[in-house]
Amino acid sequence: EMSSSNTNTGGPSASAPAAATPAASGEEEEDEGDSNTLLTVHSVDLLKSKDGPNRREHHTEAYFSDKLIIRRGQTFQMWIEFSRPFNPKSDLIFPCLGCVFGTEPIFSRSTGIHISVPLVDVLEDGRWEMKIVEQKDKRVRLAVNTLPTASIGRYKVTVDSFSPKGKLLFPCTPNDVYMLFNPWCEDDPVYLDNEAERKEYVLNSMGKVYYGTEQQIGTRTWNFAQFEQDILEACLFLLERGQVAMTEWRDPVIVSRMVSALVNSNDDYGVLMGNWKDSYEGGTSPTAWSGSGDILRQYYKSSGKPVKFAQCWVFAGVTNSVLRCLGIPTRCVTNFSSAHDTDLSLTTDIYIDEKLEIIKDKTSDSVWNFHVWNESWMTRLDLPAGYGGWQVVDSTPQEPSQGSYRCGPTPVSAVRNGQVNLKFDTPFVFAEVNSDRIYWQKKPDGSFSQVHVEKNSIGQRISTKAVGSDARVDITHLYKYPEGSEEERIAVERASRFGSKPTLYPSPTGNDVSVEIVMDGTGPRIGGDAKLSIVLKNKSSNQRTASLLYEVMVMYYTGVLKSTVKKGQIPVTLKPSEQKKTGEYMKHLVDQGALMLAVTGRVNETRQILATQFNFRLRTPDLIITVRDAVVGKELTVKITFQNPLSQVLRNVLFRIEGLGMQSIRKIAYG
């Protein structure tokens, strides 16, 4: 970062590289105080106590470790004591963070992360920066900004000090810093905007796991233990075994997928060995575990020897612990009558012979009484808008995914709509919750034909623990539309076309009807009405009839769907070659920001499925700025006009003003 060729004559500044180069022999310049002596770092205090401001503000005071544990995208503070008073005109400091892998700083490797944090006058979000906020004699207090997309993990801190006399490096041993995901930071992909949900899905270390059958649901209490001694260290040790570069540890999609593979031991010496047999000799029965702490500590202290034994709820409990510990909002979910599709048909296939007896060696699909997995909350920047939010992460080893026993993250919203072409492992999860159970009978010539279909037996009473209480909440509606509804049938048939038996359902005989959504002008404003039009076009020479289902949903800008504003059904009749436009009005929309209109339907005559989505946002009022008499060297008057578009009083209005030459943001609390 330092440049020795500097011809700046405008005087040294806090970031002027010239101040860091040693003065030439015999031409030592005079500086204020003792600044012509070497600047040495005597000590660094990372303010890491559990009841101190860093740990409290970063919601990490519950972790047992006495190290500094911070969440990315948020400022933390530290004190540095020097050999003499720090002179901002001629001295420079650069705290450096290097990721640690095992016992070695990672920046010594080719995959390394080594961050030098620059000193600035004003901190800005989304950057590695630091600012001096207090100076006492030989000590300075720094506020350090971290990147909201920084790699999580363990960092070692060093401080480079530069003065006219030269440069010194101060290693801050044993001052390790642990960096975690930050659900409190709006720019972090794991951001969750509800404090009660953050407390439940990140900070709660006790939970409920459901088991049994849909008629007889049992409850286990589980201690996730994510803040206990050695658990954070065990979780990072686990990630190190994932053979994924630490530069990828910034992405919750990659980290959660990696954890789903590493919690089972099938192909990577992960945490737990599965056992669904009657004997648990040489290990612990899966029903004996009541928490994750002992499992993770045993794995960590044995340097990675798989712990025996686990079944689905144990895999899910440990996965929940690891992801919550790392800062990803996560919950345990139980699916009753859970299908295991082995042939990617997206159906649960049962084969019977001419005597109606099951052909066991051909019937490889199965239905579990219950199956427990996890959901983690994150934005999916790798997918189209609308697929962020809850993602299925399943570490129970059932089927290999891209060569490894892992599953997810799978967007729950994609499962609901049958969009199984979206990654990861959506066909498998779809089959678990919404496959049809199809009976195939063997014919005399050896082939099979469908003889019976059960359309509503798979995926019942999908359950998770409530926020803030021990009640059970049914979330089946997040995974599928009501059984037997037109939306649900469309989802099943859409999904089946991507499976290994795409001709299972009658294919549409024609694709002669098109559907699109159009918006008037530049779109609706906050407080106003929205009008969208659905345009249908019949390209055939015959009449077509259809029933359209529409739903308007609130969507965060990150693509996470939040709630439904309006839904309904529109019957449509199209004459030959007719185009028809139907308008949808939404009155007085407030507070929503971004929305999505989703339309699905089926043409009755041809069985063609119609589907389209349209994202739109509510425009905020313009700020009108007018300037009078701008003259060099004279005070400038600016008029800012804003009109409240709502029929209610706006309170605590704050104007934030910044411009070239203003140095920092000005705030006007208007009230």
For residues 571 and 91, what is the distance between their CA atoms, to the nearest angstrom?
75
CA distances 620 to 187, 255, 496, 562, 614, Å, are 21, 36, 42, 20, 19
What is the number of residues in the chain? 671
Contact, 147 vs 124, CB < 8 A?
Answer: no
The two structure tokens encoding residue 559? 């693509």
Residue 106 lies in a domain: yes
For residues 382 and 599, what is the distance between their CA atoms, to the nearest angstrom?
23
pLDDT band at 12 (very low <50, low <70, confident <90, very high): very low
Task: For residues 371 and 462, state if they share a domain.
Answer: yes
Q: What is the mean pLDDT of the chain?
A: 83
Task: For residues 158 and 277, state if they share a domain.
Answer: no
Task: For residues 264 and 300, state if they share a domain.
Answer: yes
Calculate the CA 110 to chain-centre distance: 27
The two structure tokens encoding residue 631? 């003259």
Task: For residues 437 and 573, state if they share a domain.
Answer: no
pLDDT band at 660 (very low <50, low <70, confident <90, very high): low
pLDDT band at 162 (very low <50, low <70, confident <90, very high): confident
Higher pLDDT, 59 or 247: 59
340 is catalytic: no
Beta-sheet strand order (sheet of 366-378): 410-411, 389-393, 366-378, 330-340, 460-465, 472-474
Question: Phi and psi (nearest 5°) for 349?
Answer: -100, 130
Q: Give the residue numbers of the binding site for Ca(2+).
A: 434, 436, 483, 488
558-578 mean pLDDT: 80
Task: For residues 359 and 444, state if they share a domain.
Answer: yes
* DSSP character at residue 23: P
Catalytic residue among 371, 407, 425, 512: 371
Q: Give the residue numbers of the binding site.
A: 434, 436, 483, 488
407 is catalytic: no
Residue 590 has pLDDT above 60, yes or no: no
For residues 514 and 491, what is the distance between their CA atoms, to the nearest angstrom?
19
Task: For residues 477 and 598, state if they share a domain.
Answer: no
Residue 12 lies in a domain: no
**How many CB atoms are located within 10 Å of the residue 27 CB?**
6
For residues 340 and 357, what is the distance between their CA atoms, to the nearest angstrom?
21
Task: For residues 217 and 166, state if they share a domain.
Answer: no
pLDDT band at 560 (very low <50, low <70, confident <90, very high): low
Higher pLDDT, 250 or 502: 250
pLDDT band at 329 (very low <50, low <70, confident <90, very high): very high
User: Regarding beta strands 330-340 and 389-393, do their DSSP bridges make them parallel or antiparallel, or are they unpaired?
Assistant: unpaired
Calculate the CA 276 to chain-centre distance: 32
Q: Where are the alpha helices (DSSP H) in 190-251?
A: 195-198, 231-240
Catalytic residue among 31, 349, 394, 512: 394
**Element (H or E) spanning 198, and its range?**
helix 195-198
For residues 573 and 548, what is the distance between their CA atoms, to the nearest angstrom?
11
pLDDT band at 638 (very low <50, low <70, confident <90, very high): confident
Angle at which helices 293-301 and 312-326 pack, to 10 degrees? 80
Task: For residues 334 and 381, state if they share a domain.
Answer: yes
Task: For residues 572 and 656, state if they share a domain.
Answer: no
Angle at which helices 252-262 and 231-240 pack, to 10 degrees? 90
pLDDT of residue 423: 92
pLDDT of residue 110: 38
Picking from 125, 151, 180, the residue at the C-terminal end of a domain is 180
Number of folded domains that form the chain: 4
In terms of average pLDDT, the best of 166-170, 294-298, 434-438 is 294-298
Residue 24 lies in a domain: no
For residues 454 and 483, what is the distance between their CA atoms, to the nearest angstrom?
11
Q: Could you give the count of Cα atoms lying within 13 Å of 265 in the half-sphere of its Cβ? A: 15
Residue 185 lies in a domain: no
Residue 597 lies in a domain: yes
Higher pLDDT, 291 or 287: 291
* DSSP character at residue 583: E
pLDDT of residue 102: 56
CATH number at residue 109: 2.60.40.10
pLDDT of residue 591: 53
User: pTM of the prediction?
Assistant: 0.73
For residues 524 and 588, what is the distance between their CA atoms, to the nearest angstrom?
10
pLDDT digits (tens, 9 = 90+) for 138-150: 999 999 999 999 9
pLDDT of residue 15: 32
Task: For residues 611 and 627, state if they share a domain.
Answer: no
Task: For residues 607 and 636, state if they share a domain.
Answer: no
Angle at which helices 293-301 and 231-240 pack, to 10 degrees? 60
Contact, 75 vs 144, CB < 8 A?
Answer: yes
pLDDT of residue 22: 34
> Nearest-CA neighbor of 200 among 334, 55, 330, 315?
330
For residues 136 and 232, what is the distance between their CA atoms, to the nearest angstrom?
35
Task: For residues 235 and 313, state if they share a domain.
Answer: yes
Percent of the chain with pLDDT over 70: 85
Q: Which of 35-44, 79-88, 268-277, 387-396 has the lowest mean pLDDT?
A: 35-44
Percent of the chain with pLDDT over 90: 43
For residues 25 and 17, what is the distance between their CA atoms, to the nearest angstrom?
19
Residue 568 lies in a domain: yes
Residue 19 lies in a domain: no
Catalytic residue among 235, 312, 332, 407: 312
pLDDT band at 134 (very low <50, low <70, confident <90, very high): very high
For residues 392 and 320, what is the distance between their CA atoms, to the nearest angstrom?
12
pLDDT digits (tens, 9 = 90+) for 169-222: 777 766 689 999 999 999 999 999 999 999 999 999 999 999 887 777 888 889
Picking from 180, 211, 235, the residue at the C-terminal end of a domain is 180
> Nearest-CA neighbor of 578 among 636, 642, 535?
535
pLDDT band at 440 (very low <50, low <70, confident <90, very high): confident
**How many CB atoms are located within 10 Å of the residue 7 CB?**
5
Residue 151 lies in a domain: yes
Picking from 596, 617, 638, the residue at the C-terminal end of a domain is 617
pLDDT digits (tens, 9 = 90+) for 40-81: 889 899 999 999 999 999 999 999 999 999 999 999 999 999
Beta-sheet strand order (sheet of 76-82): 41-45, 76-82, 139-145, 129-136
CATH number at residue 449: 3.90.260.10
* Structural domain boundaries enclosing 103: 41-180
pLDDT of residue 442: 87
The two structure tokens encoding residue 110? 């080719």
Residue 223, SS3 per DSSP? strand
Residue 230 has pLDDT above 50, yes or no: yes
193 is catalytic: no
Q: Which of 111-120, 155-164, 601-610 has the lowest mean pLDDT?
A: 111-120
